[in-house]
Chain A
Amino acid sequence: GAVVSQHPSWVICKSGTSVKIECRSLDFQATTMFWYRQFPKQSLMLMATSNEGSKATYEQGVEKDKFLINHASLTLSTLTVTSAHPEDSSFYICSASSDSSFYNEQFFGPGTRLTVL
């Protein structure tokens, strides 16, 4: 299957700082990338959907000024958590899909575990 990488895999930061998470599709062109958040013992919650070269579409309740998403190329999307607070501590997972896939399946990165102190 297609490979998606994420970096960093885990990060600890102080409250008020900003954290950038990178998501890369390594062996295919990702026309669409998705960002999810998962709290312990809960399912994935979609935060936003981004298409290369255009602004991300945010889900209801997700602050676009707090969670900045950039999808500058067909292989890279970034999520920046600005002015992070302890309640932002979570498991952030990206996924990517390609228009060339008939079923539009998503391939997930390994996730980034964010802890805000």
Chain B
Amino acid sequence: QEQLVQSGAEVKRPGASVKVSCKASGYTFTSYYIHWMRQAPGQGLEWMGKINPSVGSINYSEKFQGRVTMSRDTSTSTVHMELSSLRSEDTAVYFCARVPQRAAVVFDIWGQGTLVTVSS
């Protein structure tokens, strides 16, 4: 069964960093791009960036450039997303998602989401 399983919920203080992991299973990890999105409470979805697990190339949304770091570990089929200098507006559910092997950059498999709460 193809799936992405994310790490558990986090509570962080403003100014801290958070690292969320996303472990792939049931498919060839290096064959599919992984993207990260987030969803603030009651809000829509916001794209953060993408990583190519095969070669490690990365593209970030300009909004998060300088604050976000994405990485991958091919030995464990896991991608990571670290967000630094957290503020209350970063409180959201963070999702990783896979792009299928077709031209359309859409997301066919999603992680279950990781709630990150930023609060003093």
Q: Do A and B come from one complex?
A: no
